[in-house]
Amino acid sequence: MADNGRRDFMGKVFGGWAALGGLGALYAAKKSWDPLPSVKAAGFTKVDLSAAEPNVLNIEKWRGKPIFILKKTPEIVAKQTKEESARDVVVGKDHFLVCIGLCTHLGCIPAYRPDKHDFKCACHGGEFDVSGINTLPPPPSPMVIPPFKIEGTTLILGEEGPEYKKMKEAGVIA
Amino acid sequence: MAHFEKAHSLEEWLDQRLAIKTLRRVLAEEYWIPKNINFLWAMGMVLAVTFGILVVSGIFLLCYYQPNVNLAFDSVNYTIMQEVEFGWLWRHVHAVAASVVFLIIYIHMFTGIYYGSYKKGRELIWISGMLLFVSFSAEAFSGYMLPWGQMSYWAGMVITNLFSLGSLELNGLVEWIRGDYVPGQAFLNRFFMLHVFLMPLIIMALIGLHFGTLRIPHVNNQDGEEIDFEEEAKKYLSGKKKEAKVIRFQPDFLSKDMFVVAVFLIFFFYLVFWHYDFAMDPINFDPADGLKTPTHIYPEWYFLWSYEILRPFPKDPGLIAFGFAQVIFFLLPFLDRSPNVAPASRRGKFAVWFWVLLVDMIVLTVMGKLPPMGIYSTIGLLAASLFIILWIALPFITKNEKAV
């Protein structure tokens, strides 16, 4: 069976090279489905906070996602717990909620209820308080605070400023 | 060079080169179907015809559809619906067929479950059929993205988010699937590719496999009787057609099959011309808007039961329950511990199991469409729990089943 020995050998050599090529092709396939550089680069949004009205929800767009920006009234701020206040973005004397406006359950956009000062997600009934903390399941975690930086009264989304890093260190941002 | 005689007809010429007579005999004229069956045995052919209708109408839609986030919505709702002559026909045929195909798939599945057509050599028929069900689901979902309306966008958002696998938070995986942070151009393009090429290719291959798995065990019959097909075929071929328990696939069985197909097509075209709206969600006639979630997000009716298994639980258990619902039907041939191949009505507790499962899935379907509030949430939770309990109970209730 010397002949078959040579055929087996050729089969194994072919199989080895094919496996190598297959791995290369898989790597290329994985990389070609990654977000494109142009998609990644369009990632910074500037928002002027000085024009914000209290208790009126502003929705900005950042990386295709809605960003909730809510200027809290002094009454809301006074009633807040420590946990809630830790998530506030403070500019001058004003306290803001800044978060990605997507329910942490399956990514719907919760609606703001100005009379109740909370958020209600219509999809599966989840609720969040005025600081974006989940209060009624199914959402398992608070709405996410995006990387931000404060310059005067301008909020830059997509860049990690000192205030954002502080929140991160304090464990407010998981 | 092989030896060829001069052919006297086109058939003979082809037969010399392709053995078409042998093929026809093996695949059709001597492929045996039991006599003891009913109209439910025609659902396979109804499905094959419906798939053909989907392919043909899809080809015409493909001539004008634009897979671009700025153009897709108008290419469907303006170009195809208003400019292209008979564009509305292709769209409505395609949409209605996509919906009705699932109705027939469910009838086909539950027929198989009722008559025990998934055991004693028929396991692969069931498994290849379930692979087809999953492929049709992927095909339906990817097609639902293409009009790029509000429901397309938000269903795309919700379903791709499932791949973050709850608390594992695999957001990188979700972004990789989308090619973006949210569904966008890359997402629409790749789902277009899946819908018009890769999934249809896989489905066609699986249909071939599904037919192949039938060949040796043959189709089941109304009593689950074990038939000696070679013996019965001999009787038939020797002229004792009345005595034989079998008939030829072509032309005997096929003529009845096509009668059922014809009745089905009357129903189908009635829907296409007078009730196409049931397959068209009004919310999807608003263009996709990433900053505005529709008040209620729900899938098409055929996904509602599994959606309702996801919904009433907290995030992680919900995902596990959903995953369970997706794979558990595959295991049916192995979870049913009884050797009986018989209609459920003769199988004692299994009959109860069958009807409870069927009703439970209808309840889940209804609850999946209703907003998740109050009593609906409770009923949804109970029905979803019952679904899981039923499948866990199946091996125990079939284990000691009396031989029929």
Mutation for A interface: B153, B189, B198, B291, most A CBs within 10 A: B291
Q: What pLDDT shows up at residue A2?
A: 59
Asked which of A72-86, B27-41, B185-199 is least confident by mean pLDDT, the reply is A72-86
How close does chain B come to A17, measured CA to CA in Å?
26
Closest among B305, B167, B289, B308 to A108, alpha carbons compared: B289
Q: What pLDDT shows up at residue A77?
A: 76
The more confidently predicted of residues A83 and B331 is B331
CB contact under 8 A, B158 and A108: yes
pLDDT tens for chain A, 174 residues long, are 556 888 899 999 999 999 999 999 999 999 999 989 888 877 777 788 778 778 888 888 888 788 888 888 877 777 777 777 778 887 878 888 888 888 888 778 888 888 878 888 878 878 888 888 888 887 888 888 888 888 888 888 877 888 787 777 777 776
How close does chain B come to A9, measured CA to CA in Å?
32
CB contact under 8 A, A138 and B293: no
User: What confidence tens digit (pLDDT) does each residue in B341-377 have?
Assistant: 999 999 999 999 999 999 999 999 999 988 877 888 8
Q: Is A120 part of the contact surface with chain B (CB cutoff 8 Å)? A: no
Domain boundaries, chain A: 2-34, 40-169
Phi (first) and psi of residue B400, to 5 degrees: -105, 25
pLDDT at B235 over 80: yes
Q: Is A122 part of the contact surface with chain B (CB cutoff 8 Å)? A: yes
Residue A152, Ramachandran bin (φ over 0: left; ψ between -120 and 50: alpha; else beta): left
Q: Is A26 part of the contact surface with chain B (CB cutoff 8 Å)? A: no
Q: Is A42 part of the contact surface with chain B (CB cutoff 8 Å)? A: no
Amino acid in position B207: I
Mutation for B interface: A108, A112, A136, A144, most B CBs within 10 A: A108
Q: Is A37 part of the contact surface with chain B (CB cutoff 8 Å)? A: no
Q: What pLDDT shows up at residue B228?
A: 96
How close does chain A come to B151, measured CA to CA in Å?
12
- Side-chain-side CA neighbours of A70 within 13 Å: the count stands at 28
CATH architecture, domain defined by A40-169: 3-layer Sandwich (2.102)
Spell out the domains of chain B, with CATH numbers in brackets.
30-297 (1.20.810.10), 303-404 (no CATH)
| pLDDT bracket for residue B305 (50, 70, 90) | very high
| Residue in chain B nearest A174 by alpha carbon | B169
Q: Which residues of chain B make contact with A107, given a CB cutoff of 8 A?
A: 157-158, 161
Three-state secondary-structure class, residue B240: coil
Those residues whose C-beta lies under 8 Å from the C-beta of residue B179, and which sit 6 or more positions away, are A33, A34, A35, A36, A39, B186, B187, B190
Q: Is A105 part of the contact surface with chain B (CB cutoff 8 Å)? A: yes
